[in-house]
Amino acid sequence: MDEALVAAVGSGRDLIVPDRHRAAAVRLAWARLKLAEGRSVWSTPQIHTWDAWLTRQWREAALRGAVPQVQLLDTSQERALWEAVLAGLAEEGEDEASLTQHATALMQAAARATQSGIDPARLAVNREERLLAAALEAVRRECRQRGLLSLRLARADELGFLAQVRAPRIVGAQRLTALQEQLAGRCWPGESLLLAPPAAELPPPTRRLRAADLQHELAACARWCRSHVERDPGARLLVLSACTEPSLSIQGALLWNALAAGTDADEAARARWLAVEGGEPLLHQALAADALALLELAVADTAETAALLALLRSPYLGLLPDGARLRLADWIGEQGLARWPRNGLVQALHAHAGREEAAGVLAGWLAQAGAALDGRPRRGTTEWARQFTAVLDAAGFARGRPLDSREEQRRERWHALLDEFAGLDAVLPPLTASAALARLRRLARQARHQAATGDAAITLSASLADPVVRYDGIWVLGLAEARWPAAPRPDAWVALAEQRRARWPEAGAAERREQAAWALSRWQACCGELVLSFPAREDDVLHRPPALAGNIDAWVDCDAVEMPVLAGCSRPAGDQHLEPVAVASPGVTLKGGATLLATQQACPFRAQAQWRLGADPPAGLSEGVPAFVRGRLMHLLLQHLWERLGGQAGLLALDAAGETALVEECWRRAVEATPAARWLPTTVLERERQRTHQTVKSVLQLERERPPFTVEQRERALHWQGAGARLALRIDRIDRVGGDALLIDYKSGQPTRIDLHEQSLQPLQLAVYAAALAQQGQPVSAAALLNLHPHEACFAGVAAREGILEEGLERLEDWDGTQRRWQEQLVALMQQHLSGEATLTVDRRACERCHLPALCRRAGEDAVEEAGD
Ligand code: SF4
């Protein structure tokens, strides 16, 4: 800290800084100073932003009775008031909702204009300028009539109570605002408010660097930071970034990645090394997002499955034990519905409660919360805040486990948000539950939160203004000509002439240039070493160095740096090997059935990840009928149908009306036995009924034209054994055709290619079913898929001889030998699986529908290959 700043803080006077980050920086610098003096206790310096300082002074004055009895508006209340006012100012052809979207911008413009001594009505010409003038007048009128006060809109004569307090010192500002000058004259004559720190006598050593791109720039910066901190662990460095893309938090992650490259630094080390300023909207933080999602689940008539699954996987949902809520999430995902009607969800959960107690608990909470948040009566926001808290508490939200310090801070922020929301009573009429929740969500989107960090060695900031405190070194990233000085960007709501008169930096090119030159002088004054850098290229954009920061020849290329490997791509795709599975004779039954071997055949890596490590595909949610419901309905219907018909003779005996009635009856039985079908909307289920009837009609036509047959077995359960393990299987149907057994597997979707006659196990399930039956002493003479197509049902498979079906079967010369080879191939696949082999597939077609490219890192490898191409 320079001497003037130390004197200002040491004098005990309130210090006003441009933002809360600079306030934290001054407090930390003050603490370092006191520690260096050997002190262990010292008074907390009073450091505030202008708005926070004004609010504090007004509250203290209110306690002394020195100000009128009015209600002070906080930012949320003021925004709500602006929204209400704007809605009433919509002109013909203007949309109220789109006007209210500008409330925040108008509110800020009004505050800034007031503090700059601008009367928005004076030169207002266009619609935007006139709107601000009208809205400001209306807001002031509302405040007068309702006994409200916005300090941001207060003029010097309304702030006369400040004469009773000591003059603050303002630091980090280029000049005082008009309001501050007026207050200085009225309240603190002769006092100098602005603390103008001395300029650097000699500019610090300054390097100007050109990097190939942002990644190289960050890597060079990381190397510079590291060498400073390794040389002097007490060094404090400031990295300023002029880049707006990617976000500052991503730049922080990249910088940390480069800083930590080649070390085993963990998150705790990161907190000591690097602090990133800014914070994120509260809504983007899991605790607040999950709280809102839980409340929305309680209020909404329809539950989105994706949101429900995310909630059940939330670590903050303390209502259910961890294992139970994850199992419940899996079960809900398996039902395949993209959304649930509220009643359907409660019914389904109750129905599942017999198998999973947690389902009943969730159903009970849903019913209770739904009643508590009944949307019909309108209530004030204070009452809604109370109800929301009660509903969250009933769900054990954020109470199921101890929270770490950052989570605690988020919970505190969430409660502060609820208080803010409750305060809206002052300006809003009573609301319905869903309107109240929408308002709370909007507040969470607008509120920013950053967990407090300690005194990190490096601070990354997006503020190119005065650093206020001194650093050992400052590095300014991304300082390309295109963005520094920044382009003029006048405020659309205030007349340009007024902005120029008030010297707003964004009003014009000259103002921007003056702002940038001032910032440069402050960087130079606040550090022992200054580095300015810019990336020569960003995507397709080529950059030049900024003219303001020195001659073009002064810029040199960054030293070549070894690029750190980016997080997420740190290891290329490669074959893996897991521990072998221990199996004991007579064999363990593995999960997955025939699909396990089919996956091992398609990609050993995927099979190990999915069936041994549990990397299941995400739930396939459907807007219509989920695939598993469709498959189950069709299987059950065909099962009931052949149970009644017995075979082709029974089918041929049916007339058209009899067939329709039988199919209808079997459909009803299938629906009754499929709980998930009952939760489908009626219209969707009806469409599915018609589609299924059409498919069954097509299948029965095919069955009529076959050689005579009887259906011997339906849904036959059995095991296949091999390599010491067992797989549980279920065969859809086995027909008897003359003296031959024909194995049939129902297949929905696109017809599958049959390669079993080409020495290839495709489709594998036919081979494994045939092999399993052979192991039971019940060999078949043919195996076929029955493609269930609504218009073109057909068989496809292989057979020992001609005549078992009219068409669709490929004849194999050596049926017994082929089956022995199938068994050998299946055993080899199982051995491979049990041995833990997890090589990546060589057939890239298998990757097209795989859910694991990020896990096996093939996605990264493909990206590299594409970049190479
Ligand atoms: S993406 Fe390809 S290589 Fe990777 S697991 Fe999936 S199928 Fe295997």
Residue nearest ligand 1's atom 2 by CA: 847
Question: How many whole angstroms separate alpha carbon 49 and alpha carbon 249?
Answer: 23
Residue 828 pLDDT class (50, 70, 90 cuts): very high
Question: What is the CA(855)–ligand 1 centre distance, in A?
Answer: 8
Question: What is the CA(854)–ligand 1 centre distance, in A?
Answer: 9
Question: What is the CA(157)–ligand 1 centre distance, in A?
Answer: 71
In the structure, which protein residues have their CB atom closer than 6 angstroms to any atom of ligand 1? 603, 605-606, 840-841, 846-847, 850, 852-853, 856, 858
Question: How many whole angstroms separate alpha carbon 801 and alpha carbon 818?
Answer: 13
The SS3 call for residue 148 is strand
Question: What is the CA(598)–ligand 1 centre distance, in A?
Answer: 14
Lowest mean pLDDT among 45-49, 488-492, 656-660, 750-754: 750-754
Q: Which of 566, 464, 546, 539 is nearest to 210 (CA)?
A: 546
Q: Ligand 1: which atom is nearest the Cα of residue 853?
A: 1
Q: Ligand 1: which atom is nearest the Cα of residue 604?
A: 8
Is the distance from CB of 373 to CB of 253 less than 8 angstroms? no
Question: What is the CA(869)–ligand 1 centre distance, in A?
Answer: 21
Question: How many whole angstroms separate alpha carbon 610 and alpha carbon 602?
Answer: 12
Q: Ligand 1: which atom is nearest the Cα of residue 841?
A: 3
Question: What is the CA(594)–ligand 1 centre distance, in A?
Answer: 19
Q: Ligand 1: which atom is nearest the Cα of residue 603?
A: 8
Residue listed under structure tokens 């005549």: 803
Question: What is the CA(625)–ligand 1 centre distance, in A?
Answer: 28
Question: What is the CA(596)–ligand 1 centre distance, in A?
Answer: 15
Q: Note the pLDDT of residue 862.
A: 57
Is the distance from CB of 116 to CB of 507 less than 8 angstroms? no
Question: What is the CA(848)–ligand 1 centre distance, in A?
Answer: 8
- Please list the alpha-helical segments (H only) found in 375-508: 381-394, 405-422, 433-446, 496-501
Q: Ligand 1: which atom is nearest the Cα of residue 609?
A: 5
Q: Note the pLDDT of residue 569.
A: 45
Q: Note the pLDDT of residue 200.
A: 64
Quote the tokens at residue 556.
């040199």
Question: What is the CA(526)–ligand 1 centre distance, in A?
Answer: 53
Residue 576 pLDDT class (50, 70, 90 cuts): confident
Q: Note the pLDDT of residue 549.
A: 85
Q: Ligand 1: which atom is nearest the Cα of residue 844?
A: 2
Q: Note the pLDDT of residue 860.
A: 53
Question: What is the CA(631)–ligand 1 centre distance, in A?
Answer: 26
**pLDDT digits over 672-720, tens only?**
999 888 888 889 999 999 999 999 999 999 999 999 999 999 999 999 9
Pocket test of ligand 1: the residue of 858, 861, 865 to mutate, having most ligand atoms within 8 Å of its CB, is: 858
Q: Ligand 1: which atom is nearest the Cα of residue 856?
A: 4
pLDDT of residue 568 exceeding 50:
no
Residue nearest ligand 1's atom 3 by CA: 840
Task: For residue 787, list its beta bridge partners.
Answer: 747, 794
Q: Ligand 1: which atom is nearest the Cα of residue 847?
A: 2
**pLDDT digits over 756-797, tens only?**
888 889 999 999 999 999 999 999 999 999 999 888 899 999
**pLDDT digits over 309-352, tens only?**
999 999 999 999 999 999 999 999 888 888 888 888 998 999 99
- Please list the alpha-helical segments (H only) found in 65-126: 75-87, 96-100, 103-115
Residue nearest ligand 1's atom 7 by CA: 847
Residue nearest ligand 1's atom 5 by CA: 606
Q: Ligand 1: which atom is nearest the Cα of residue 606?
A: 5
**pLDDT digits over 491-507, tens only?**
999 999 999 999 999 99
Rounded mean pLDDT of 834-863?
83
Q: Which of 448, 472, 477 is nearest to 460 (CA)?
A: 477
Quote the tokens at residue 666.
């079997």
Q: Ligand 1: which atom is nearest the Cα of residue 846?
A: 7
Quote the tokens at residue 414.
């969430």
Q: Ligand 1: which atom is nearest the Cα of residue 602?
A: 7
Helix, strand, coil share (%) of the chain residues, nearest 5: 50, 15, 35
Question: What is the CA(678)–ligand 1 centre distance, in A?
Answer: 36
DSSP E strand boundaries for 499-639: 530-535, 537-538, 541-542, 556-557, 576-577, 588-590
Residue 403 pLDDT class (50, 70, 90 cuts): confident
Question: What is the CA(640)–ligand 1 centre distance, in A?
Answer: 39
Residue nearest ligand 1's atom 1 by CA: 853
Residue listed under structure tokens 């086995």: 734
Number of neighbours of residue 693 by Cβ within 10 angstroms: 17
pLDDT of residue 370 exceeding 70:
yes
Question: What is the CA(567)–ligand 1 centre distance, in A?
Answer: 20
CA distances from 429 to 79, 386, 522, 614 (A): 15, 17, 48, 51
